[in-house]
Amino acid sequence: MYSSIQDLGRLGYRQYGVPCSGAMDHRSFEKANFTLGNDKNAAALEITIIGPTLQFLISTEVCISGANMNPKLNETSILNDQVISVNENDILKFGPLKYGTRAYLAVANGFETELLMGSRSMYNNITSASRIQNDDILSIVSVSSGTPTMKSKKSDNIDYFDTKELTAYKGPEFDLLSFSSQDKLFNQEFTISNTHSRMGYQLNEFLENDLKSILTSHVLPGTVQLTPSGKLLVLMRDAQTTGGYPRVLQLSESAINLMAQKNTNDKISFKREELTI
């Protein structure tokens, strides 16, 4: 459906309007690389909801972490969070989604796609493509079976991906909200709308908005904006660098990772956390 090469992001260019990009769920991305013994920033394939079919032209080792998409190697089911040896001409397929939204396919030493501004993360107008396409050839290095690797302590279970509670801090404009709106933010559930992508997630429920627009100000992945219509917009890894909507919350890094595994009609709630310096 939407698969792209990602690493931990394109850092140091936000002053030029370049989004961070990078893996939507850093936790799952880093787990796949750790399990293989890769550098934590080694580029991996981020797979969203429906996976591709991949033919390996050389031997290597792989690990899949994150969402469970019923992966099969040569029609034999394989597990997430395990080192899997792959031989020349092997076929890797993904089946129906069991839980989660995004899976990460790491290969030994990482994908060796184009490196731009210090990152291999695909993003429109920065890299030549924003996602992989049919018949693309993705460069990897050959690795013989038996290469020393790190083993993950355990595989994630469905309980982690079902977690609804997202840790959030007060945003710069939070205190401008009415007390009833502040209370509602932290004491009700919200529903993921069908409008969600690597740029942001819109929530279905409305929040009273009598705030004036703000001057265009900095936003970050995890910034929760209140739109003029009263809907909440949670910015994600490909989000713009500035915005003019009030910034009412800021998600923690762990909450961004969890949000990245949510899909249409999933429920979330915000847990208030005080920022300590």
Per-residue pLDDT of the chain (277 residues; tens, 9 = 90+): 899 999 999 999 999 999 999 999 999 999 999 999 999 999 999 999 999 999 999 999 999 999 999 999 999 999 999 999 999 999 999 999 999 999 999 999 999 999 999 999 999 999 999 999 999 999 999 987 655 455 555 677 789 999 999 999 999 999 999 999 999 999 999 999 999 999 999 999 999 998 888 889 999 999 999 999 999 999 999 999 999 999 999 999 999 999 999 999 999 999 999 877 6
Which pLDDT tens digit goes with each residue over 86-120? Answer: 999 999 999 999 999 999 999 999 999 999 999 99
**CATH 1.10.260.40 is the classification of domain 163-272:** no
Sign for the pseudo-dihedral over CA of 210, 170, 10, 164: negative
d(CA 125, CA 160) in angstroms, rounded, equals 35
State the amino acid at position 252 in one-letter form: S
Cα–Cα nearest to 234, from 187, 166, 186: 166
Note the pLDDT of residue 101: 97
What does the DSSP assignment read for 2-54? EEEEE-S---S-GGGT------S-HHHHHHHHHHHT--TT--EEEEESS---E
Q: CA separation (Å) from 114 to 46, 130, 149?
A: 16, 12, 26
d(CA 80, CA 31) in angstroms, rounded, equals 10
Note the pLDDT of residue 145: 61
Which pLDDT tens digit goes with each residue over 139-163? Answer: 999 987 655 455 555 677 789 999 9
Which residues does residue 86 pair with via DSSP β-bridges, in sequence order? 60
d(CA 182, CA 178) in angstroms, rounded, equals 6
d(CA 123, CA 213) in angstroms, rounded, equals 29
Cα–Cα nearest to 90, from 111, 75, 110: 75
The answer to whether the beta carbons of residues 22 and 68 sit under 8 Å apart is no
Q: Which two tokens stand for residue 136?
A: 């693309």
Tell how many helices (H) and how many strands (E) occur in the chain: 4, 18
d(CA 68, CA 64) in angstroms, rounded, equals 9
The domains of the chain are located at: 2-159, 163-272
Please, is 137 exposed, middle or buried when counting C-beta atoms within 10 Å of its C-beta (0-12, 13-18, 19+)? exposed
**Residues with Cβ < 8 Å from 99, sequence gap 6 or more?**
67, 68, 158, 161, 162
Phi-psi region of 75 (alpha: psi -120 to 50; beta: other; left: phi over 0): left
Note the pLDDT of residue 157: 77
